[in-house]
Amino acid sequence: MTPELTNPIFPAFAQSVEQVLAGHGYTPVLCTQLPGGATEDELVEQLVERGVGGIVFLSGLHADTSADPARYAALAERGVPFVLINGYNERISAAFVSPDDNAAVRMAVGHLADLGHRRIGLAIGPQRYVPSRRKRDGFVEAAVSLLSMDRSEAEGLVCSTLFSVEGGQVAAGALLDAGCTGIVCGSDMMALGVVRAARGRGLDVPRDVSVVGFDDSQLIAFTDPPLTTVRQPVQAMAAAAVGALLEEIGGSPVQRTEYVFQPELVVRGSTAAVRTEG
C-alpha cells in the first residue's frame, strides 16, 4: 500500500517489493491512496475481505503522529501479517524498515559545510510525520556541531511545507530570504522546487545556491543540473520488509523492532563551493 505515485520514490519501492514477492511465488496487489480516493482504512478492509496473505505499508498512517495507531493493533488481532516502511511508532507492535533520516541530513549538511557553506537551510514536509521530525532533529544537531550555530538559529532555518515541487518552492523562498547559500531537502521533488524557485529569482544552481535532495529516485541524475541527493537503499529496504513479512506469514515470530538502513550521499551537479565575493 503506497501513497500517490507522482513522487517517483513510491513506484520505485512498489516495484522492488513486487519483484521480491513475485520471486517467492506471491501475486502482488498494489493499492494507491489518491487524494479524494479510498482511505488507508478502506483499502485495508478491501484487502482483508479478499483474503490477502499480508500487507506492506509504505509511508502510511503509521508515519503520521496525529493518526491513531490502534488500527494496526486491530489488524494484528484479525491475524493479518504486515510490515511498515518509512515511519516508526513505538505504540505499534510490528517490524519497521526505515532509512537513517538523521544520518542522511548530517551527510548532506557535512557535504555543504565541506564546500564552504555556513548558512544552510532545511526544506522538509509537515512535522507530524516521523521522517520529517527525524530530519529536522538531524539537521539541528549537524548545524550546531558542524556549523557552530546556536540551536535556536538552526531551528529557524527549518522550513516545513509539503513534500512536493510546490512545497519546495515555498520553502526556498523563505530560506533564500534568510540568506541560505545551501539548502537540504526532504525529497527530490522538493529539491526540484527549490531549483525552480532559485532560478525564478535569477540565481544559478549551483553557482549561487547549492541544493541537496533526498531519495535518488529515477531520472534525478538527468535533471538540470543533475541533482546531488541522499540515496535511500530502496532494494535493500524492500527485501528486508518482504523478508519480515514472509517470516510472519510462515508463522515465525518477527522481532518487533525497527530495521534502520544507511543512506548514501550521491554528489552530482547541484552543489558547488560557496561563492566568494570579489
DSSP string, 56-114: EEES-GGGBTTS-THHHHHHHHTT--EEEES---TTS-SEEEEE-HHHHHHHHHHHHHH
CA distance 109 to 129: 21
Question: With bands split at pLDDT 50, 70 and 90, how would you rate the model's confidence at 278?
Answer: very low
Provide the pLDDT for residue 17: 95
Q: Are residues 32 and 116 in the same domain?
A: no
Residue 3 lies in a domain: no
Residue 253 lies in a domain: yes
Distances (CA, A) of 127 to 66, 154, 156, 158, 159: 10, 16, 14, 11, 10
Q: Are residues 38 and 120 in the same domain?
A: no
Q: Are residues 106 and 222 in the same domain?
A: yes
Tell me the per-residue pLDDT of 95-130, one tens digit each, with 9 for 90 and over: 999 999 999 999 999 999 999 999 999 999 999 999
CATH at 49: 3.40.50.2300
Q: Which residue has the cell 484487502?
A: 47
Q: CA torsion sign, 227 to 107 to 262 to 184? A: negative
For Cα atoms 198, 167, 13, give the angle at the middle one, nearest 5 degrees: 110
For residue 193, the enclosing domain spans 101-231
Q: Are residues 152 and 176 in the same domain?
A: yes
For Cα atoms 28, 32, 38, give the angle at the middle one, nearest 5 degrees: 120
Residue 253 pLDDT exceeds 80: no
Q: Are residues 137 and 44 in the same domain?
A: no
Quote the crossing angle between the two packed helices 130-147 and 101-114, to the nearest 10°.
30
pTM here? 0.94
Cα radius of gyration (the chain): 19
Q: Are residues 85 and 107 in the same domain?
A: no
**Domains in the chain: how many in total?**
2
Tell me the per-residue pLDDT of 196-208, one tens digit each, with 9 for 90 and over: 999 999 999 999 9
Residue 268 lies in a domain: no
Q: Are residues 55 and 174 in the same domain?
A: no
